[in-house]
Amino acid sequence: MDEDMLRAVMDRYGSDVWNYIYYLTSSREQADELAQEVFVKCYYRIETYRGRSSFQTWLFSIARNAVCSYRKSRFFRKSLWGDTAALPDGKITVNAGGGAVVAASAEMQYFSSMHINEIWDMIMDLPAGFREVLVLDLKYGMSTREIAEVTGWSPGTVKSRLHRARRKVQHRLKEMR
């Protein structure tokens, strides 16, 4: 892998890797630091990628291992984690009946983004195992098999945690109403 190829990989997967690490750590600073570490490891260990899974799955495995290593490190045990920051939200559009996509009014965007932020806050409050599978499923659209490869859990465990995590979020939403 040369520097141009690394830049292309970082352009393509950089935000996904950073977001995944952020979801695991709830810290922007740690996400910055660990995302850099992931791409350094990718650069030096590209020959270990065997193509058995998607390249993104391989990068997420490196990212997860980097987070786990960081959590085990002496520095982590002595430091405090930052508060959960609001997630940046993109432009929200509403699908009209005929399939045409129409820009939502400012009020609709505000209420929709508030609801989305509340749901993500609920997800961020879940235990790490539940939060991780939901993020990989909802944000990155990974299959159960891909999530199992990233986490090292069996597909049955992934399915179980996904079900329980969804149930917890649904229960909290019902409590809010």
Give the whole-angstrom CA distance, residue 153 versus residue 142: 14
Exposed (0-12), middle (13-18) or buried (19+): which is 136, by Cβ within 10 Å? Answer: buried
Give the whole-angstrom CA distance, residue 1 versus residue 3: 7
pLDDT top residue among 88 and 67: 67
The stretches of the chain forming alpha helices (DSSP H) are 3-25, 28-44, 55-72, 74-78, 106-125, 128-138, 144-151, 155-176
Residue 30 pLDDT > 60: yes
- The CATH number fitting domain 104-176, selected from 2.60.40.420, 1.10.1270.20, 1.10.10.10, 3.30.70.270: 1.10.10.10
Give the whole-angstrom CA distance, residue 27 versus residue 21: 9
User: How is residue 21 written in tokens?
Assistant: 């690490």
Comparing 64-73, 109-118, 136-145, the range with the smallest average pLDDT is: 109-118
Q: CB atoms < 10 A from the CB of 132, how many?
A: 23
pLDDT digits (tens, 9 = 90+) for 108-136: 555 555 667 778 888 888 998 899 998 89
pLDDT digits (tens, 9 = 90+) for 83-101: 333 334 444 344 444 433 4
User: How is residue 17 written in tokens?
Assistant: 């890797």
Classify domain 3-78 by CATH number. 1.10.1740.10
User: How is residue 76 written in tokens?
Assistant: 């982590």
Exposed (0-12), middle (13-18) or buried (19+): which is 97, by Cβ within 10 Å? Answer: exposed
The pTM score is 0.60
User: How is residue 52 written in tokens?
Assistant: 């058995």
Domain locations in the chain as residue ranges: 3-78, 104-176
Q: Which residues of 34-65 are buried (b: 16+ CB within 10 A; e: fewer)?
A: bbebbbebbeeeeeeeeeeeeebbbbbbbbbe
- The secondary element (H helix, E strand) that includes residue 103 is strand 101-103
